[in-house]
Amino acid sequence: MTLSGLRVAVVAAVLFAVSPFAFAKGDTGFLDRSINIDGQTYRYQVYLPADFDKKKSWPVILFLHSVSQRGDDGLQPGDFGIAHAIRIDRDRFPFIVVMPQCGKDKKWVVPAMQKMVLAELDASVHEFHGDRTRIYLTGISMGGFGVWEMAAQYPGRFAAFVPICGGIHGPPKVPDARVSVAADPAIADPYAETARRIGKTPVWFFHGSADPVVSVEESRQMAVALKESHSDFRYTEYPGAGHEIWDKAYAEPELFHWLLSQVLAVPTR
C-alpha cells in the first residue's frame, strides 16, 4: 500500500470508529450519531440545515440540555430547548447544531461529561466541515451551569457563550451542580474568577426574575463580575418569569444574528 493510500485508510477507520452512520449527500435535519470513548458508546444528535453543503465551512452551535433529558438514547436532546426552536423555524438556524446527551445521574460540570462533549463536537466539526472560528456554546438550566463551567475551563475554544437560567453556585436542592471554581476553597470569589477566565469572549445570558429553581442572583452576580472585568456581555432578565425561559430566550430576534457576528481570531483545540 502506498503512503497516500495508508493515510486514506487511517482516516476512514477513524471516521468509522467515531460513528457507524456514514454521511450521505442530501442528508439534512436531525441525524443520529454515536462515539466510543474508553470503551463506552455515547449517542447524540447533529442538526444540519436544509441547504447544507459540505463544500463550505459552517458555524457550529454546541447545546447542553437540562436535567430532564439525561439518559443514553441520544434522542431526547433532539426535541427540547434549541432543538424545539429549530423545529419551530428552521430558517433561523444556518448552523450545524451538536446535541450531546448527559449520562443518567451525571452533570455537565463533571470532567467525564466534558470530555464526551468535546469529543462529539470535534467529531461533528470534522465530519461536517465546521468552522473552528465560529463555534458557540449554549445550554439551559443544568446546561447553563455547564456553559459557565466550560467557559471558565476552555475560554479560547468558543467564539461566544449563551447560558440560560444557569449559575455558578448550585441551587439548594442540587448543590453539586456548582461549577468547579465554586468548589475550590482557594477561590474567594468564583463569579469574579469565572469572569476573569472568560476574558473578552462575548457572553449573552438570560434569567427569569422569579426563577424558583436557580436563583436569579446567580446571573445578577455574574453580570456584576463581567461588568467589573470589562467583559463583552449582554444580560437579559425577564421580569416575573420563572425557570423555563429557554423558548423565550431562543426566540429573541437578535440572538442568532449576534452569534454569527462573533468570530475567533485564533481558535484553540
What percentage of residues in the chain have a pLDDT greater than 90?
Answer: 80
CA neighbor of 108 nearest in space, from 179, 158, 190: 179
DSSP symbol at 73: S
Number of domains in the chain: 1
Residue 17 lies in a domain: no
3-state secondary structure of 214: coil
Residue 14 lies in a domain: no
Residues 235, 169, 239, CA angle at the centre, nearest 5°? Answer: 35
Is a pLDDT exceeding 90 seen at residue 123? yes
| pLDDT, position 29 | 95
Residue 116 lies in a domain: yes
In total, the chain counts a number of residues equal to 269
Residue 23 lies in a domain: no
**Per-residue confidence at 11, pLDDT binned at 50, 70, 90?**
very low
The 10s digit of each residue's pLDDT in 73-94 is 888 887 889 999 999 999 999 9
Residue 223 lies in a domain: yes
CA neighbor of 136 nearest in space, from 200, 64, 196: 64
Residue 34 lies in a domain: yes
For 225, residues 6+ apart whose C-beta sits below 8 A from its C-beta are 189, 191, 192, 194, 195
Residue 60 lies in a domain: yes
* CATH number reported for the structural domain that contains residue 114 in this entry: 3.40.50.1820
3-state secondary structure of 172: coil
Host domain of residue 229: 29-261
The Cα 142–Cα 64 span in angstroms is 8
Task: Report CA torsion sign: 219, 223, 228, 233.
Answer: positive
For 74, residues 6+ apart whose C-beta sits below 8 A from its C-beta are 32, 33, 34, 42, 43, 44, 45, 101
Task: Report CA torsion sign: 146, 217, 250, 59.
Answer: negative
